[in-house]
Amino acid sequence: MRDTITTVTLNAAIDKTYYVPALVKGTVMRATEVLSMAGGKGVNVARVLHQLGHSDVVATGFAAGYNGRFLVDRIRESGIGAEFVEANGESRLCLNFIDAADSSSTEILEPGPQVEDEHIAALKSKVSELAQRSAVVVLSGSLPKGAPPSLYAELIELVRASGAEPFLDTSGAPLAQALAAKPAFIKPNEDEIVPLLAGQCDGNLFEGVKSLSTHGIRNVVVTLGGDGAAAIVDGAAYRVTIPKLQAVNTVGCGDAFVAGYAYGSSRGWSAEACLRHAAAAGCANALSTVAGDVKANDFEALLPRITIGEWLA
Ligand code: TA6
């Protein structure tokens, strides 16, 4: 029985969240609170898995320079294994400005360091090694400069060859290229899936998701923000409804959703149970001040408020 869940963050970051009284372009604003966390989508997934009670979590990816050392130290301090490949330059900062007036979030995401062929080769062998003891390997986020758009497809093949389930959460060209490698799970939001379906299925979301599912992707979930999610898992269609919430910070909700799903999937749970756990984690993240953070009491209170029904075409 494999207990490890590995997360791969190729473009890890320090996530900085600035709370400002009102965000007004072209003015000087003073932050009332600033929070810094180890981040990037896969790191957030790792943290939430650990908070949900999965003790054997390892985070890998590229880490560079002073920022890379900061984030590896923070990950280890939180009880998560960190086995990053060192790259040149500096890991990036991702900035999130939360406007207290309307709780809206404005993000500025740096492009990240340049990675070279030798780093990519080292990363591939690290992912293969970790996948051999993992139930699930979650691949998340954008690619750093120098990484080919085919990299996720190559990693999916490696993960599958090592006997683990490859989960993928990315967008744009890296997602489009990775679909042919048939990840076990994808979670685009509506904006991310529409370009993938351009010219197909007459823009019909249900038909689009169904076509991805019939092409060998076992778990296709589309997150719909405050409207919950829709999914096709092993051919069965589900509609996930979530409660109305007073969100504090919605950045990282998708990562928490992936963590909840991986938690259930690694335990062999039903699609309904995985979706419920995922949606409760995603909602709980919205109640925290920082990205990729789920408080146990919020999560427990939200679980019974998630409804899983049938998704009707
Ligand atoms: O999902 C939220 C978030 O993880 C932020 O914390 C930030 O680090 C960002 O996404 C990075 O996304 P990207 O797609 O650029 O890798």
140, 9 contact by CB (below 8 A): yes
User: 254: Cβ below 6 Å to ligand 1?
Assistant: yes
Q: What is the b/e burial string over 193-204, where b = at least 16 CB atoms within 10 angstroms of the residue's CB? A: beebbeeeeeee
**Any ligand 1 atom below 6 A from CB of 42:** no
Would residue 202 show up in a list of annotated catalytic residues for this protein? no
Q: What is the pLDDT of residue 199?
A: 67
Instruction: Give 224-231's long-range contacts (Cβ < 8 A, gap of 24+).
Output: 224/189, 224/190, 225/189, 225/190, 225/250, 228/279, 229/257, 229/275, 229/278, 229/279, 230/205, 230/206, 230/311, 231/271, 231/275, 231/311
41, 71, 75, 140, best to mutate for ligand 1 pocket (most atoms within 8 Å of CB): 41
Nearest CA to ligand 1 atom 2: 252
Q: Per the residue annotation, which of 15, 255, 293, 298 is the catalytic one?
A: 255
Task: Name the residue at shortest CA distance from atom 7 of ligand 1.
Answer: 40
Q: Which ligand 1 atom is nearest residue 112's CA?
A: 15
Q: What's this model's pTM, rounded to 2 decimal places?
A: 0.96
Per-residue pLDDT of the chain (313 residues; tens, 9 = 90+): 789 999 999 999 999 999 999 999 999 999 999 999 999 999 999 999 999 999 999 999 999 999 999 999 999 999 999 999 999 999 999 999 999 998 899 999 999 999 999 999 999 999 999 999 999 999 999 999 999 999 999 999 999 999 999 999 999 999 999 999 999 999 999 888 888 877 676 768 898 899 889 889 999 999 999 999 999 999 999 999 999 999 999 999 999 999 999 999 999 999 999 999 999 999 999 999 999 999 999 999 999 999 999 998 7
Q: Is the CB–ligand 1 distance for residue 46 below 6 Å? A: no
pLDDT at site 190: 86
Query: Locate tokens 């039903």: which residue?
Result: 270
Q: Does ligand 1 come within 6 angstroms of the Cβ of 159?
A: no
Among protein residues, the one with the nearest Cα to ligand 1's atom 12 is 141
Indicate whether residue 67 lines ligand 1 (CB < 6 A): no
CA of 141 relative to ligand 1 center, distance in Å: 6
pLDDT at residue 201, rounded to an integer: 67
40 C-alpha vs ligand 1 centroid, how far in Å? 5
Minimal-distance CA residue to ligand 1 atom 11 = 40
**Rounded Cα gap, residues 197 and 167, in angstroms:** 20
